[in-house]
Amino acid sequence: MKQIDGRARKSYLPLLYFAVILLPVFLLGCYLYNEKQLRIGQFQEFKTHNMQEHISPPQQSKEDKDKKTDLVPLEICDVFTGKWVLDNVTHPLYKEDECEFLSEWVACTRNGRPDSKYQKWRWQPRDCSLPRFDGKVLLEKLRGKKLMFVGDSIHYNQWQSMVCMVQSVIPSGNKTLKHTAQMSIFNIKEEYNTTIAFYWAPFLVESNADPPDKRDGKTEPVIMPQSISKHGENWKYADYLVFNTYIWWTRHSKIKTLKQGSFRKNDSKEDYEETGIYIGYKQVLSTWTNWLKQNINPNQTSIFFSSMSPTHIRSSDWGSNEGSKCERETEPILNMSRRPIDVGTNRRLYEIAVNATKSTTVPIRFLDITKMSEYRKDGHTSFYGSRTGKLITTEQRLDPRTFADCYHWCLPGLPDTWNELLSLYIIYKS
């Protein structure tokens, strides 16, 4: 019996060793393994959380979502194709009397225009939605930089719009406006250190319409198709350049070009030759693109070209018997077909501009504002501008064919939409 008990105790010894020594080691190993798995899980959760924050932002209010430009897939959404929607909530983007820099020339309400519906149309692209414009977001992108509009009076119109769209977020002591012979310069000091400028060059190249006293359209235009460097010296150091040239090309089928030298008061007819506007337009845009290639670093400067701003000088173009031009129009053309309407836009000049911006090695963003603007017969200054410094008289209103301005645009108004679209590309793509 004692022998059996002894053998039993010996057989239990391995179990005791396991219980006393190996079991704690095993349990410790399990503990460490579980701790490691816990840490890995926490790390993965942390990593996933951060990735979700980057890819899918947390829930935001509708107002915040409207401000996010990355909701607009610019690579696949044609923001220039869409329709006009009446919006009394978000438009106008600013009030006329709150923009201290708005000139009397385009302040139509101040000049007596009785209707205001033209201020309240919002552009709705067909395939996506635009975020609500936020001047602070744009200025943040423009911090320490210069945005310059170059071209004719339509671009001056658009420059004034841009100034009004951003100036309200700047304290009064931190913004200045000055004019020189060729430029209008809006400076934002301190926080943003930003410049938004306009440079007068209606043909981009040198012309006799460059001096301030020759811009009323009464002088027969003469251009120097190969001479651009004088103007270009003022463009070189801008971070964003927005060009246009159109209205001055539409006056006649031919344009005078200076054979050689520079403009002088006593130039004779022998110094000029006439060129068809299409040949001249191609020459000028070729000179322009060559200048860009030689002087602009596309890694530092973003280039834009605005297509033609249309005119509305024949009411019969949109089937109206009211008035002779745009002087009585209070609503857009709302029957918006896919096919462009014909309000007299020179399609051949349009195609030349499209081809010029595509055929150069310098990346140029073509801002196709033409079709969307052709529907806005209601937006012109008409009788309510004062480009010459004087308002239209009662007697002059009896002659709209001569005095109604159906070229330029009231502000707030259509040029604000142009700038909304330009801002998308500045914020999102550049």
Contacts of 205 (CB under 8 A, 6+ apart): 223, 224, 225, 226, 227, 228, 231, 284, 287, 288
Active site residues: 153, 405, 408
| CA distance linking residue 92 with residue 413, whole number of Å | 7
| CA distance linking residue 205 with residue 55, whole number of Å | 47
Q: Is the separation of the CB atoms in 176 and 187 below 8 Å?
A: yes
Q: Which H, E and C letters describe 7-30, residue by residue?
A: HHHHHHHHHHHHHHHHHHHHHHHH
| CA distance linking residue 257 with residue 410, whole number of Å | 33
Provide the residue type at 219 as one letter. T
Cα separation values, 107 from 63, 162, 184, 402, 409, Å: 29, 14, 18, 20, 9
As separate numbers, helices (DSSP H) first and strands (DSSP E) second, the chain gives 11, 14
Q: Which of 154, 163, 182 is nearest to 244 (CA)?
A: 154
Q: Is the separation of the CB atoms in 237 and 197 below 8 Å?
A: no
